[in-house]
Amino acid sequence: MLDIRTLMAATMLANTLFAAVLLYFWRSERTCPGFLRITAYLVLEAVAYLLLALRGAVPDLVSIVGANILMVLAVVMLFDGLSRFYEGKRIAGAYYAAPFVVGFGAFLLRFGVDSPFGRVLLFGTAFSAFLLLAVRVLTRRHDDDALALFMAALLLLGVVVLLLRTAGWSLYPEIRSLFAPSPINEFFQLYQLIAAVLIPMVFLLATVQRLNRELRTSRTALRDLAGRYDLAIGAAGMGVWDYDPTARRLVWDERMYAIYGVRPDCDDLFAALAGMMPTDDRERVRAEVEQASRTGETMDTEFRLRGPDGGLKHIRARARTFMKGTGAGSRLVGVSFDVTAARTAEQGLHEAVRKLHLLSSITRHDIQNQVTALLGWLDLADEQAGGDGVPPQTLASARQVVDRIAGQIAFTGEYQAIGVTSPTWQGLDRVVSRAIGEAHAADVVTATDLAGHEVYADPMLYRIFYNLIENALRHGGRVTRIAVSARSEPDRLVVAIEDDGDGIPLSEKARIFEPGVGKHTGFGLFMSREVLGLTGFEIAETGEPGRGARFEIAVPRRAHRAGTESGPVGDREDALL
Q: What is the pLDDT of residue 404?
A: 65
Q: What is the pLDDT of residue 389?
A: 61
Instruction: Confirm if 41 and 78 have CB atoms less than 8 A apart.
Output: yes
Pinpoint the alpha helices (H) of 388-522: 392-417, 428-439, 461-475, 506-509
Instruction: Confirm if 508 and 517 have CB atoms less than 8 A apart.
Output: yes
Could you tell me the CA-to-CA distances from 517 to 23, 259, 509, 514, 523 in Å, in that order? 93, 45, 11, 6, 7
CB atoms within 10 A of CB 327: 6
Per-residue model confidence as pLDDT tens digits over 413-426: 655 555 556 788 99
Instruction: Confirm if 149 and 82 have CB atoms less than 8 A apart.
Output: no
Q: What is the pLDDT of residue 230?
A: 81
Segment 325-354 mean pLDDT: 76
Number of residues assigned to the chain:
577
Between 344 and 217, residue with greater pLDDT: 217
Give the chain's mean pLDDT.
Answer: 82
Q: What is the pLDDT of residue 20?
A: 93
Segment 113-121 mean pLDDT: 82
The CATH code for residues 236-338 is 3.30.450.20
Could you tell me the CA-to-CA distances from 483 to 10, 287, 471 in Å, in that order? 112, 53, 14
Pinpoint the alpha helices (H) of 277-420: 279-295, 340-384, 392-417
Instruction: Confirm if 455 and 425 have CB atoms less than 8 A apart.
Output: yes
Q: What is the pLDDT of residue 342?
A: 83
In the beta sheet, which residues pair with residue 72?
none
Angle at Cα 270 formed by Cα 267 and Cα 274, nearest 5°?
125
Class of the domain covering 421-577:
alpha beta
pTM: 0.51
Percent of the chain with pLDDT over 70: 83
361 pLDDT band, cuts 50/70/90, is low
Q: What is the pLDDT of residue 572?
A: 33
Q: What is the pLDDT of residue 516?
A: 64
Segment 189-200 mean pLDDT: 92
Query: Could you tell me which of 76, 117, 67, 112 has the C-alpha nearest to residue 95?
Result: 76
Class of the domain covering 4-216:
mainly alpha
Q: What is the pLDDT of residue 364?
A: 58
Per-residue model confidence as pLDDT tens digits over 532-563: 887 889 999 999 888 899 999 999 988 898 87
Segment 477-481 mean pLDDT: 85
DSSP 150-162: HHHHHHHHHHHHH
In the beta sheet, which residues pair with residue 305?
313
Segment 395-406 mean pLDDT: 69
Does pLDDT of 74 surpass 70? yes
Instruction: Confirm if 164 and 158 have CB atoms less than 8 A apart.
Output: no
- Sheet with 560-562: strands ordered across: 560-562, 453-457, 424-427, 567-568
Q: Can you tell me the distance from the alpha carbon of 176 to that of 282, in angstroms, rounded to the nearest whole number?
A: 92
45 pLDDT band, cuts 50/70/90, is very high
Per-residue model confidence as pLDDT tens digits over 127-156: 899 999 999 998 886 555 788 899 999 999
Q: Can you tell me the distance from the alpha carbon of 20 to that of 17, in angstroms, rounded to the nearest whole number?
A: 5
Segment 193-218 mean pLDDT: 90
Q: Which class for 225: exposed (0-12), middle (13-18), buried (19 or more C-beta within 10 A)? A: exposed
458 pLDDT band, cuts 50/70/90, is confident
